[in-house]
Amino acid sequence: MIRPDNVLVWATFSPLVGAGLILVLTALRYALKLPKSFMDQSARWVTLAASALMLVASVLAWHWFDPGAAGLTVAGKSTGVQMVSRAVWIRPFNVEWFVGVDGLSISMVLLTGIISFVAAIASMPWWQGGKRAAELAGMDEHGHDDPHHPKHFSVRMVPAYMVLLLLLMTGMMGTFVALDMFLFYVFWEVMLLPMYFLIGVWGGPRREYAAIKFFLYTLAGSVLMLLAIIAIYYRSLPATLADGTLSARHTFNLLELAAQGRAGQFVGAASILGFAFTKIVFVALFIGFAIKVPMFPFHTWLPDAHVEAPTPISVILAGILLKMGPYGMLRFNFPILPDATEWAANAIAVFGVINIVYGAYVCLAQRDFKKLIAYSSVSHMGFTLLGMAALTPVAISGAVLNLFTHGIISPALFLLVGVLYDRAHHRDLERFGGLAQALPEYSGLTGLAFFASLGLPGLAGFIAEFMVLSGSFPVYLTYTAISATAVIITAAYYLWAMQRIFLGKLNPAYHDFPDVNWRERFVLYPLSAIMIFLGFYPQFILTAINPTLQQLIQNIRA
């Protein structure tokens, strides 16, 4: 069954198998003329089972991961990469099936497992509270064609939705475990298409605009990335393939490329269009990843995509997709092009600071609840950029920890927005008020998530921000001081939002809203528990990521 050497394969492909199963079931349905409800229900259960399997596999991978292990040896140096599964895929181009995890990716694998499962549950239409609740949410099967009160996404074209969701999961997991540039790119693109349809078909009123914006924006980034990948490939030296043969001329192996980059292979490469090779490749890769972060000024797809996407897709978007930007930078730019990293660090830090402060201020001006959360992601991802740019052990660990904690907190926030939207069908902060009376449990959970996100010590968000700020402080004194002002603005916009939603007099129209139901509890309580747990024991994550990151920045310096 699941063993350390195939756990990543399980994690990556169990959703894909689930998707295939749903397709088979669809064929079966038409052959046997089974009712639609059978198809919907079976698609849901297959999705749950597949994502649960993925969660189990990723937790096992986390369990088996040994931070102190030497791992795979590349170019005479241990990389700490474990649980490797490897085979030659396309021999003429030296493309391999090559997956494995180091401290950086294992945290992301765990996060992907958790958030995918959460998103799968959030896609279920289980709904208590009787007729009134189902009607409020638009979940009664017989449906609304009323554009102001559309049918809930969880009961529209269920099998197609589930297939795309599962495909998306495979893409995400694959991106985080791939150690072959080509494989990475394949998974990266596999993610893109389901996302487009999930936003474009099951989204809100402006879904087509948001979906196409997301798609084109990301694709533009991918193209730059692809060019950079090809450029790197043609400058690389041969390396050993999985079966022990030496590849012809070049290699896609990321670990080999890192070793070659460390040895200065790319520094002397011929310049492109008059720019130094490393710099131009760095910038191309960086823009490709920065769009995913999203980094100012490439961030405007995010609010639109978030606002229009259905709740589980927002969860995945905020929880995992945004993490791929920094992950890619740490997997490609930093190890392969160390000298260009040194060169670009200052600029990255500046963009990080802009993200932090700019995002926070824009949040303060929001009236749309979901947009507020979306912009807060922009602000929080800025901390990761700043931390990465500082290149100190504390800051970079904080940056990656921030990926994880933000990956827990912001999905919770989007789920909470979804809870409210399912009942009120609008997200205008000004039109709520006093909801704490009608929805006490919801208020408590939202309060917890808000405080976690604004960096209250004892909850997950704080440690990451604290580490980033303290680690960047000696390097970028002034930048850090400016960034720290965000703690004030962040508190202001969250508390203001809280005041507008929950406090004051209750709008009578909302007095019979049902409180959080079991489906929502089932995702919100575990996420809240993780927030508190990581707030008091962040070392849980740090133990795994520290060695990898410290080796990474040591290489940059060396």
Scan residues 480-499 and list those touching other proteins (CB under 8 A). 480-481, 484-485, 487-489, 491-492, 495-496, 498-499
> Smallest distance from the beta carbon of 534 to other proteins, in angstroms?
10
Q: Binders of other proteins among 291-330, rule CB under 8 A?
A: 296-297, 299-301
DSSP 3-state assignment of 126?
coil
Contact 329, 184 (CB under 8 A): no
Q: Does 556 bind other proteins (CB under 8 A)?
A: yes
Minimum Å gap between C-beta 72 and other proteins is: 22
* Residue 251 near residue 230 (C-beta atoms within 8 A): no
Q: Of 45, 64, 97, 361, which lies in the binding site for other proteins, with binding defined by CB under 8 A? A: 361
User: 293 vs 162, 184, 355, CA distance in Å?
Assistant: 26, 17, 10
- Residue 48 is a binding residue for other proteins (CB under 8 A): no
Q: Contact between 506 and other proteins (CB under 8 A)? A: yes
Pair 305, 312: CB distance under 8 Å? no
State yes or no: residue 467 binds other proteins (CB under 8 A).
Answer: yes
Q: Which is nearer to other proteins, 247 or 397 (CB)?
A: 397
Kindly indicate which of the ranges 72-80, 98-106, 158-166, 468-476 contains the residues binding other proteins, using the contact rule CB under 8 A: 468-476
Query: Considering only residues 31, 32, 505, 509, which one is a binding residue for other proteins as defined by CB under 8 A?
Result: 505
Q: Which is nearer to other proteins, 40 or 308 (CB)?
A: 308
Shortest Cβ 56–other proteins spacing (Å): 27
In this structure, what token pair is assigned to residue 95? 């493309």
| Residue 49 or 220 having the CB closest to other proteins | 220
Measured from the CB atom, is 241 or 449 closer to other proteins?
449
Within a 10 A sphere around the Cβ of 545, how many other Cβ atoms?
24
Minimum CB separation of residue 210 from other proteins in Å reads: 12
Neighbouring-strand partners of residue 246: 240
Positions in 277-296 near other proteins (CB under 8 A): 296
Show contacts with other proteins in window 411-450 (CB under 8 A). 434, 436-437, 440, 444
> How many CB atoms are closer than 10 A to CB 384?
32
Pick the piece of the chain touching other proteins (CB under 8 A) from 12-20, 143-151, 229-237, 504-512: 504-512
| Distances from the Cα of 543 to the Cα of 15, 65, 104, 457, angstroms | 29, 11, 11, 20
263: left (phi over 0), alpha (psi -120 to 50) or beta: alpha
Cα separation of 438 and 289, whole Å?
Answer: 43
Query: How many Å apart are CA 256 and CA 431, to the nearest integer?
Result: 56
Q: Is 351 in the site for other proteins (CB under 8 A)?
A: no
- First-last CA distance in the chain: 42
Looking at the Cβ atoms of 2 and 491, the one nearer to other proteins is 491
Answer for the pair 422, 510: CB distance below 8 angstroms, yes or no.
no
Tell the smallest beta-carbon distance from residue 542 to other proteins (Å): 6
Nearer to other proteins, 91 or 511 (CB): 511
**Stretch near other proteins under the rule CB under 8 A, chosen from 80-88, 232-240, 479-487, 512-520:** 479-487
Identify which range of 24-32, 269-277, 410-418, 502-510 contacts other proteins by CB under 8 A. 502-510
> Where in 218-247 is the site for other proteins (CB under 8 A)?
none
Instruction: Candidates 451, 453, 516, 520: give the one binding other proteins (CB under 8 A).
Output: 451
**Does the footprint of other proteins cover residue 78 (CB under 8 A)?**
no
The total of other beta-carbon atoms located within 10 Å of residue 557's CB is 8
Residues β-bridged to residue 78: 73
A 10 A CB-CB count for 55 gives 21
Among 458, 512, 518, 529, binds other proteins (CB under 8 A): 458
Q: Which is nearer to other proteins, 4 or 434 (CB)?
A: 434
Chain centroid offset of residue 162 CA: 19
Chain centroid offset of residue 391 CA: 22
Shortest Å distance, C-beta 383 to other proteins: 13
Told to check if 350 binds other proteins by CB under 8 A, we report: no
* Structural element, H or E, at residue 325: helix 322-328
Minimal distance, residue 478 CB to other proteins, in Å? 9
For residues 292 and 321, the answer to whether their CB atoms sit within 8 Å is yes
CB-wise, 320 or 549, nearer to other proteins?
A: 549
Report how far residue 175's alpha carbon sits from residue 187's, in angstroms, rounded to the nearest whole number. Answer: 5
Residue placing its CB nearer to other proteins in the complex, 251 or 376: 376
CB of residue 475 vs other proteins: minimum separation in angstroms? 6
Nearer to other proteins, 13 or 358 (CB): 358
Cα–Cα distance measured from residue 356 to residue 411, given in angstroms and rounded to the nearest whole number: 19
Crossing angle of the two packed helices 440-453 and 486-502, in degrees rounded to 10:
170
Consecutive H or E run containing 532? helix 518-536
Rank residues 38 and 536 by Cβ distance to other proteins and give the closer one. Answer: 536
- Helix, coil or strand: residue 281: helix
- Report d(CA 553, CA 197) in Å as an integer: 39
Q: CB within 8 A of 98, min separation 6: which ones?
A: 84, 85, 86, 87, 178, 179, 180, 183, 242, 253
- Out of 94, 397, 453, 548, name the contact with other proteins by CB under 8 A: 397
Q: Which of residues 377-396 bind other proteins (CB under 8 A)?
A: 391-394
Among 504, 515, 517, 526, contact with other proteins (rule: CB under 8 A): 504
What CA–CA distance (Å, rounded) separates 441 from 423? 15
Among residues 266, 369, 442, 462, which is the contact residue for other proteins, using CB under 8 A?
A: 462
213 touches other proteins by CB under 8 A = yes
Size of the site for other proteins (CB under 8 A): 72
Subset of residues 154 to 193 that bind other proteins, contact rule: CB under 8 A: none
Q: What angle do CA 73, 279, 393 make, to 5 degrees?
A: 50
Site membership for other proteins, residue 358 (CB under 8 A): yes
How far apart are CB 387 and other proteins at their closest, in Å? 11
